[in-house]
Amino acid sequence: KAGVTQTPRYLIKTRGQQVTLSCSPISGHRSVSWYQQTPGQGLQFLFEYFSETQRNKGNFPGRFSGRQFSNSRSEMNVSTLELGDSALYLCASSFTGAGNQPQHFGDGTRLSIL
């Protein structure tokens, strides 16, 4: 059974650019969440989607946005990139949105801002 797939694995951008990251959840999973991992802040919740609707959003500026498609695939977008956006961005999927089942993570997209 295929796991969560994130593309691309690595990305280098410059300040001011925008970027779109993609996540394909495990087949049958309808919930997708995004997290940012940095050495200083650890793993932080960005947002969560279930059935194409954003249900929760973390404490990030509006430059961070996302969406979910009808096939449960999700994208997140970061506009006007800043040096501090350099991080590992992780996507996780879960079968339901009930909050009582484990989420399974992809291997992430490593974003570097120059």
Partner 1 sequence: DQQVKQNSPSLSVQEGRISILNCDYTNSMFDYFLWYKKYPAEGPTFLISISSIKDKNEDGRFTVFLNKSAKHLSLHIVPSQPGDSAVYFCAASPNLYGGATNKLIFGTGTLLAVQP
Rule CB under 8 A: which residues touch partner 1?
A: 4, 6, 31, 33, 35, 42-45, 48, 50, 55-56, 58, 90, 92, 94, 97-100, 102-108
| Minimum CB distance to partner 1, residue 68 (Å) | 13
What's phi and psi for 57, nearest 5 deg?
-135, 140
For residue 69, give every residue at least 6 positions away whose Cβ sits within 8 Å of its Cβ, in sequence order, or none.
52, 75
Q: Which pair of structure tokens corresponds to residue 71?
A: 């096939």
For partner 1, the closer of residues 2 and 98 by Cβ is 98
**Residue 7 C-beta: closest distance to partner 1, Å:** 13
State which residue, 2 or 16, has the beta carbon closest to partner 1. Answer: 2
Q: Do residues 51 and 30 lie in contact, with contact meaning Cβ atoms separated by under 8 Å? A: yes
